[in-house]
Structure formats: structure tokens, C-alpha cells
A and B are shown apart, each in its own frame.
Chain A
Amino acid sequence: MSDPALLSIIQARKLPARELIQACRARIDQWQSRTNAFLGFEEGPVTGVPLAHKDVFCRAGRVSSGGSKILRDGVQSDTSAALARLDAAGFADLGRLNMSEFAYGTTGHNEHFGDCCNPWNPDYIAGGSSSGSGAAVAARIVFGSLGTDTGGSVRLPAAACGVTGLKTTWGRVSRHGVMPLSPSLDTIGPIARSAEDCALLLQAIAGFDPRDPVSSRVPAPDYPIKKHDRVRIAISSAWIERHTDPEVGTAVLAAAKLLASTGARLTEVEAPDFDTLSAHCLVVMQSEASAQHLRWMRERPGDYSSAVRARLELGYAIPATVYLEVLRARGLWLDHFCNQTLGGADLYLLPGIAVRLPTREQTGSNGGPDVPRRVQEVTRLARWVNYLGVPALVVPCGFDSRGLPLSLQLVGRPFSEPALLASGHAFQQESGWHKRVPAHGPARNGESTWAS
């Protein structure tokens, strides 16, 4: 059989499902000790192209832990709409993937289940909160994975692990049966090996669902890739040169040129106010997350990690008037982004992450006083998108001098997923960065994984 690490979903569908699943399970055995991507495995018979998902997607009769101690043994009574739709579309579910506790972290640290590590180098962060999704897809254990994105949680692990991740428009994919973090911001999106594979997964899960109160009635179009001829892409080159790591900036500006060579027209625009919009996102996220967790924070605060508990504590001090004022301004900011920043353009191009990846130690509990700054640098270009509710695609666009992935981010108007996927696909057809696969090396504890 062909090496499953090199196949797309379309190619995999033509292979015998049983052999394909065996091959992917063999890769779990090979990679688990290096990445710690899985929290639990489906041992029984499954059929279809193998996927696995962040452990916030409930499945009836199975544990969904949310990466937490509190729900570690929580068997669910219902299956999430997104998993049910993937089941119906013929995909296999190989298991539950590691994540930041309650999806409330951006680096992939998890003190309850162990950190999820970057397959390119386990000393470095995998990104979060859908850390297992990014790592499992990058290591070619599975063909794709669903994650959730409230402040970058699909795009950051995709960027850090060198795979493709789509944050969908708020309301595009039903969140029924998915653990909430911040309902005004929560979205679901695929992480896969390519934009084309993301399109196939989105096709399966998009559409109205009356069980999700914010589910959109905007019809889900055909997502399989169309040509991106004459797409207009806005970019703020001077901002990128001034505010990003030189290796990041060089790769992203080169990627923009490559996109232009495929027929895209580039337009220079003023950069959005990323930091103000990120602050607004945090006001909403922290207020809502703290409300979601009120009962457990009263009854068992010691069962949260110190980092998550601190984030939740902050939310209880945010004045309700500030929270509502920020929500009242949200529509104004969306108008501003679409009419002023994009103007006549279709998409906005920027890095996925503005800096080179930090290590797990630099951003963990022993990272010292620089941890908040380092984490803020990683998330700087992610949260503003959630405040606006718009879709965004992250694709790999090179590697830094340490061999770690660099990424490009495209942001569009509400429900512009087809345009994002088309441009991502056009870029990947020319660049080929998405075909790079991490080499298997020492495990995160320094021991050879082949010995286990």
C-alpha cells in the first residue's frame, strides 16, 4: 500500500479502509511518545478515512475530558453534531486528542495529561488549544482533525506544527455537543494536510443546525476547491517588516509574492489595530469563560491548573458594562474591517504567528517573568479574527533556521471560506511546503521511541 503519510483524503478514499486504519494505528505507536497527541484510542472496529479530534467533541458512551481533571472520567450521553456529520460522511474516528485544559491555553501545555509536543521538535510548543490536532496531522497519524477556535486555537497549532487550519465564520459549523469556552467567539474548524483536505472536511460539517442557537441559515456552498483567479489580497508589508521576526517576515512576504504569481492582485493597506481588537476579544472571552466555569470555580477550584485558574479568576473582575460595551462595538469593527481594511480586496494576508516558536519551557510554569510576553507574542495575530467573527486560513510557508514551521494567514469576510480555501490551495500547488513531513526522532523524554 502507498505510504499513508503522503496521501490526501481523496487518495486515501481509494484504498482499503482496513489497511489504511492499520497503517495509521502503527503511526500512533510510532509517534505517541514523541508528541503525546492522543488522550484515548478507539480500540474497536472503525471504517473510513482515519481522523481523530480534539477532546471537546462529545460522543455518546465515550469520555470527553476537555483536557481537564474535572471531566477526566466524564462519559457523554450525546454525540456532537460535527462528529455525527463526519460519521455520516464515512470518516473513521481513531480517538481523542490532547488539548489545553478546557481549551483555555495557546501553547499545548497540559499538567493533567502531559504536554502535547511539536512533532518537528518536542522541545517546542505545539500551539493550542487544539494541540493534539496539529501534532497528529503533522505527524501524519491521521488525515485530518476537528479543533475549536475561540482565540486562535485551530490556527495556532496548525501554524506551529506546519499544517493547514481553517477557522470558520462564527455560526458556520454547529457547536452542538462541543464543550464551550466563550459562546460569542467559539467556532469549529478542520486541521488537515492541505487546503483541499480542509475543504472536504468542511463540506461534511458545515450547515444549519437548530440545536446551536447561533447556527447560521446562510446556505453552505460546495467547498471543493475552485480557481482563485483575480482574487484581490490586501497586505500591510511595512507592518510585517517592522513588527514580526525577520525570518517570519521574509517568509510571509515571499509567500505573498508567490500568491501574486498565481494570479492574485496584492494591495497595500493600513494594518488593522490588532492589539485593541485582541484586548476586546480577551474581555469577551474571559467574561464568558468565567461564567461557564462559575460552579466548578466555587466548588472545586483546586482541580484546575494554576494557569487556567488564574485566567478564570480574572474574568470575575471584568465589569459587565465593559463586556457589553465591547460587544456593542463589535458590529462597528466588522464594518470597519470589511469596508476600510479590505475595501475592494477579498482577503487580508498576514503571518499566522508573528514570532519564531518559543520552547515549552520558555512558556511553561517554570518560564519565569517573561511567560506572559512570550505567550502574547504568539497570540498577537490570532484573537482579533475571533472578535470580528470572520474566517481565516493558516497554511505553512516555510521553515525557520531551526527547522520549525512558519505560516501564512489569510482572513476574509464572513462566509468567505471558499475564497480562503481557493487561495490556500493555489499557494500550496505552487509552494509545496504542506508536503513536508517531520522526521521521527527522540521522544520528548529523550528516549528513543522505537524502543517502546
Chain B
Amino acid sequence: MTSPKQWREEAIETALSAQGIALAPGRAKSLARELQALLEASAADPLLASVEFQADPYGFHLALARTMAQTQ
């Protein structure tokens, strides 16, 4: 996954406003900082580069089945 760009307060305010969410006063700055940290931590995952084009978000159900314990 491409590293996310720097999130700014204005972008946070716009994104929430467009969804009808009233941001608590003075919170945009800290939210931008938290969001940036979260997305960077997630994007640093080396395995993301191995996710195939055909990978499906619901493929996790199949992974549960193929990795389940054989102790039943």
C-alpha cells in the first residue's frame, strides 16, 4: 500500500462535515495527528505488498477454515 500523505486539520474537518458529523471544538488537530500515526503504522506492513490483485476482503473466512486446529 502506498504511504498515506500528511493529513491536515482542514481535511479532517471537511471529511467529517461531508458526512454530517459535528467535530468537537478544537479536536481536528489531534485527530489529524492520530490518524496520520494510525495509517502510517498500518501502511508499514511489509505483507501488504504480497496481497494479490484477486484477494477478497471476505477471503478471511476461507483462511479460518484452512488454518483451523485439528484437535476437534
* Residues of A in contact with B (beta carbons under 8 Å apart): 169-171, 216, 218-219, 221, 273, 275-276, 278-280, 282-283, 286, 294, 297-298, 301, 306, 309-310, 313-314, 316-319, 322, 324-336, 338-339, 346, 372, 389, 412-416, 418-419
Separation in Å of the A94 CB from the closest CB of chain B? 34
Pairwise interchain contact A309-B24, C-beta atoms closer than 8 A: yes
What separation, in Å, do the CA atoms of A294 and B55 have in the docked complex? 29
What separation, in Å, do the CA atoms of A276 and B59 have in the docked complex? 20
Separation in Å of the A6 CB from the closest CB of chain B? 32
Pairwise interchain contact A325-B48, C-beta atoms closer than 8 A: yes
Pairwise interchain contact B38-A283, C-beta atoms closer than 8 A: yes
The 7 A-B residue pairs with the shortest CB-CB distance in the complex, in nearest-first order: A331-B63, A416-B69, A279-B41, A327-B57, A338-B67, A413-B69, A279-B42
Pairwise interchain contact A310-B42, C-beta atoms closer than 8 A: no
What separation, in Å, do the CA atoms of A322 and B31 have in the docked complex? 17
**Given A279-B42, A313-B27, does the pair A332, B34 have CB atoms closer than 8 Å?**
no
**Given A283-B38, A322-B42, A332-B55, does the pair A327, B60 have CB atoms closer than 8 Å?**
yes
Pairwise interchain contact B16-A301, C-beta atoms closer than 8 A: no
Pairwise interchain contact B51-A334, C-beta atoms closer than 8 A: no
A273, A318, A334: the one contacting B35 at CB < 8 Å is: A318
With both beta carbons as reference points, the residue of chain B lying nearest to A279 in the complex is identified as B41
Separation in Å of the B59 CB from the closest CB of chain A? 5
Q: Which residues of A contact B22 (CB under 8 A)?
A: 298, 301
What separation, in Å, do the CA atoms of A414 and B48 have in the docked complex? 22
Which B residues from 1 to 47 make CB contacts under 8 A with A?
1, 4, 7, 11-12, 15-16, 19-24, 27, 30-31, 34-35, 38-39, 41-45, 47
**Given A297-B21, A346-B69, A414-B68, does the pair A322, B55 have CB atoms closer than 8 Å?**
no
13 residue pairs from A and B, CB less than 8 Å apart: A216-B64, A282-B42, A283-B39, A294-B19, A297-B21, A310-B30, A310-B31, A314-B38, A316-B21, A325-B1, A328-B55, A330-B57, A332-B50
Q: Which residues of B contact A413 (CB under 8 A)?
A: 67-69
Q: Which residues of A contact B1 (CB under 8 A)?
A: 322, 325
A219, A221, A335: the one contacting B67 at CB < 8 Å is: A335
- Central interface residue in B23, B30, B38, by most chain A CB within 10 Å: B38
**Given A276-B42, A328-B51, does the pair A334, B24 have CB atoms closer than 8 Å?**
no
Pairwise interchain contact A314-B35, C-beta atoms closer than 8 A: yes
With both beta carbons as reference points, the residue of chain B lying nearest to A347 in the complex is identified as B69
Pairwise interchain contact B51-A324, C-beta atoms closer than 8 A: no
What separation, in Å, do the CA atoms of A317 and B5 have in the docked complex? 13
**Given A325-B51, A419-B71, does the pair A334, B38 have CB atoms closer than 8 Å?**
no
Q: Which residues of A contact B21 (CB under 8 A)?
A: 297-298, 301, 313, 316
Q: Which residues of A contact B39 (CB under 8 A)?
A: 283, 318, 322
Pairwise interchain contact B7-A310, C-beta atoms closer than 8 A: no
Q: Which residues of B contact A372 (CB under 8 A)?
A: 34
Pairwise interchain contact B72-A415, C-beta atoms closer than 8 A: yes
Separation in Å of the B40 CB from the closest CB of chain A? 8
What separation, in Å, do the CA atoms of A50 and B4 have in the docked complex? 51
What separation, in Å, do the CA atoms of A326 and B42 have in the docked complex? 8
Q: Which residues of A contact B56 (CB under 8 A)?
A: 328
Pairwise interchain contact B4-A322, C-beta atoms closer than 8 A: yes
**Given A313-B21, A316-B19, A332-B50, does the pair A414, B44 have CB atoms closer than 8 Å?**
no
Pairwise interchain contact A331-B62, C-beta atoms closer than 8 A: yes
Q: Which residues of B contact A319 (CB under 8 A)?
A: 4
With both beta carbons as reference points, the residue of chain A lying nearest to B42 in the complex is identified as A279
What separation, in Å, do the CA atoms of A433 and B41 have in the docked complex? 37
Separation in Å of the B65 CB from the closest CB of chain A? 8
Q: Which residues of B contact A282 (CB under 8 A)?
A: 38, 42
A297, A298, A419: the one contacting B69 at CB < 8 Å is: A419
Separation in Å of the B42 CB from the closest CB of chain A? 4
Separation in Å of the B55 CB from the closest CB of chain A? 4
